Structure 1
Amino acid sequence: MEENNFKFTTSVVGVPLFFVLFLWFVYWLEIRFGFDFEDNGILPRTVSGLQGVIFSPFIHSNIEHLYNNSIPLLVLLAALFFFYSKEAWRIVIFGILLSGSITWLIGRENYHIGASGLIYVLVSFIFFKGIQTQYYRLVALSLTVVVLYGGMVWYVFPKIDDTISWEGHLSGLISGLILTFFFKKLEFKKVIKYDWEHPDYNPAEDKFMQRFDENGNFVNLPKPVIDEEVSVEINPFFLSDLNVVYDFIENKKVVINEKNESKPES
């Protein structure tokens, strides 16, 4: 894989900041003007509850709920837009729609709100996609996500905390895994740069490896076998018994006349 696929752009910082600030702006509208957006959340298996598939990630019940979702969103969105810049927007959009739809199907008869479903989408996608690619930087990212947010897996099970939407968390986890199979990153396949990386590599034919024995000790290459010199017969046609006499003439200066004609100087 080419390293230039990982580029730091303004979207790596700008998109997470804008997304989180928008969540706080929505919550400020509720506080400032007394709105109640909870009715716009996901109400499972109802027609009116379908609007929550789109609106629920932007609605939070209280400031603690909003704060707990803000930090993970900043970190995970920044990682997504840096390592998966070409697919980032589609992952966010389809992740919201898919996780919201699954929540609408399996959720309890209550309003489900909050961006935690999207957080689980990002955690799931980044973790499983990194393992699938087997590219060392993405695998390291997957392990980092496990260290930071591995404890979140307990909140996809029921009866852990009745005040949270475990259905939304489970839906996000499933959605992220599903998206890894639709967004295939072929450029993450390892680019072969050296001969020894080829599957059909034979060390016995490598000139460098021939300098080492089976124990890894340095050895000299065997001396090349020199074929015996073979006398070449000369065709008698090119032989002569006559003596050749050469006359040496003194070098004379050459004068260029006005007509650009050269003539030897007398």
Structure 2
Amino acid sequence: MSKDSFKFSNAVILAPLVAVLSIWIVFFVEVQFGINLNDYGVYPRRVSGLKGVLFSPFIHGSIAHLYNNTIPLAVLTAFLFYFYQSAALRVLLLGTLASGLLTWAIARPSYHIGASGVIYLLASFIFFKGILAKNYRLVALSLVVVFIYGSMIWYIFPVKDGISWEGHLSGFITGLVLAFVTRVRVPEVRKYDWEREDYNEDEDLFLKHFDEDGNFMEISEEERFEQNVQIKYHYKESKKD
């Protein structure tokens, strides 16, 4: 398997699959065995509530809650691991812990559950990192994220009852901070010959087709052959008796 093929499969298949399966398996266990894991969510400013920093992203209150988080989690995880492969795992793990701790510090006294905080973390990081990187591919990715998930910005404010807007806000802030402090390998922008500093017009074969007035001139086969052929001479010292 080539490096590019491995990178593609790791991004588009493996990472999102693990993320989605983990939240669905936990929900299936809850339904199958008739248990409720909400007590493992983040409960702000209680020491016992700190366990939710690790467990809350896997717990969901309903099938609708789970479904609403599944597709964004899969799409944004794929984006992260494909375009920011060198830093993806670090951003995901550290970002999840940091956003969970921030939720624990600022949220209302209630159990906060769900992967939406991670989703806001990923969306925020991908958007701001693309803008900061100033690479056309990554900027385009930022615009795609805004186009698809831009409306999520409203839910970092308390505009609707029953949602953890504090978790959303914590994920958004954490993603923004990580975008500034995380180093990534930005793809090098390919330059044409005429964009390079050592470019010499007199040596450009294409420009030789034009005269001083900009008129196109046909080059004979003999001239074209002379331009493309290089003759190199190698001299050997003769041995003296």
* Range into which the TM-score falls when normalised by the shorter chain: 0.7 to 0.9
Q: Name 1:108's counterpart in structure 2.
A: 108
CA distance in 2, matches of 1:181, 1:188: 18
Match status 1:134 vs 2:130? no
Counterpart of 1:72 in structure 2 is: 72
Q: Deviations over 1:15-52 (max 9, x none)?
A: 21122112111011111112111011001111011111
Q: Which residue of 208, 214, 227 corresponds with 1:218?
A: 214
1:88 maps onto 2:88 in alignment: yes
Indicate how the Cα distance of structure 1 residues 36 and 149 shifts in structure 2: closer, same or farther if over 3 A, else same.
same
Deviation of residue 80 (structure 1)?
A: 1.1
SS in 1 for 2:160: coil
Question: 1:212 Cα shift?
Answer: 8.6
What SS class does the counterpart of residue 86 from structure 1 fall into?
A: coil
Q: Which residue of 1 aligns with 2:176?
A: 177
% identity of equivalent residues: 50
Structure 1 equivalent of residue 167 of structure 2 = 168
CA shift at 1:180, angstroms?
1.3
User: Please, which runs of 5 or more residues in structure 1 have no aligned partner?
Assistant: 221-266
**Residues matched between the structures, number:** 210
**SS of equivalent residue, structure 1 residue 163:** coil
Note closer, same or farther for the CA distance 1:218–1:56 as it changes in structure 2 (3 Å cut): same
Segments of structure 2 that go 5 or more residues without pairing to the other structure are 217-241
CA distance in 1, matches of 2:47, 2:96: 18
Q: 4+ residue stretches of structure 1 with deviation over 6 A?
A: 209-213
Q: Is 1:23 aligned to residue 19 of structure 2?
A: no
TM-score, normalization by structure 1:
0.72
Q: What amino acid is aligned across from residue 218 of structure 1 in structure 2?
A: G
User: Could you say which structure has the larger radius of gyration?
Assistant: 1
Hey, what's the Cα distance between the residues in 1 that align with 2:188 and 2:114? 36
3-state DSSP of counterpart to 1:9: helix
Residues 166/105 of structure 1: CA separation in 2 closer, same or farther (3 Å cut): same
* RMSD value, Cα: 2.5
- Partners of 2:69 and 2:124 lie apart in 1 by 16
- Which residue does the alignment assign to 1:151? 151
Cα distance in structure 2, aligned partners of 1:6 and 1:127:
25
Task: Summarize deviations over 1:77-120 as a string: whole Å, max 9, x none.
Answer: 11111111121111110111011011011101111100000000
8 Å CA contact 2:57–2:113 kept in 1: the answer is: yes
Q: Scaled by the length of structure 2, what TM-score is found? A: 0.79
CA distance in 1, matches of 2:120, 2:94: 13
Higher percent of residues as helix: 2
